[in-house]
Amino acid sequence: MKDDHLESREPAFFHWMFNVIVNWTYIFVSFSSVVYVFNLAVANQFSLTYTSLLLVTFILAWFFVGSRQHALSLLGHDG
């Protein structure tokens, strides 16, 4: 009985850990990308139009690829 209970808890724990790792990695990569784009714009003194275009492209990609359900479904998780 105890073994069955333990086995049923383990997948849930690993699924939770997976979600935490994916979410924090995604937040870190997103934040780093925004900082990188701004640093690139400042360092190279890009025009405001070009910087805006980069940011709009990044935000659209962020919403498209970054939706949590979409990312998890690509990796085979229903959650």
Asked if the model's pLDDT at residue 76 lies above 80, the reply is: no
Q: Is residue 26 part of a domain?
A: yes
Indicate whether this model's pTM tops 0.85: no
**CA distances (Å), 78 to each of 10, 15, 28, in order?**
17, 10, 23
Q: Is residue 15 part of a domain?
A: yes
DSSP tag of 76: T
- Closest C-alpha to 37, from 60, 65, 23, 57: 57
Q: How far apart are CA 66 and CA 60, in angstroms?
A: 9
Q: How far apart are CA 42 and CA 11, in angstroms?
A: 46
Least confident piece of the model among 40-49, 56-65, 68-77: 68-77
| The predicted structure's pLDDT at residue 46 | 62
Asked if the model's pLDDT at residue 70 lies above 80, the reply is: no
Domain limits for position 36: 2-74
Per-residue pLDDT tens digits for 32-49: 777 787 777 777 666 667
Q: Is residue 79 part of a domain?
A: no
Answer whether 34's CB lies under 8 Å from 28's CB. Answer: no
Q: Is residue 69 part of a domain?
A: yes
For the chain, give the percent of residues with pLDDT over 70: 59
Q: Is residue 59 part of a domain?
A: yes
Q: How many domains does the chain have?
A: 1
Match 């980069």 to its residue by tokens.
54
The residue ranking higher by pLDDT, 43 or 17, is 17
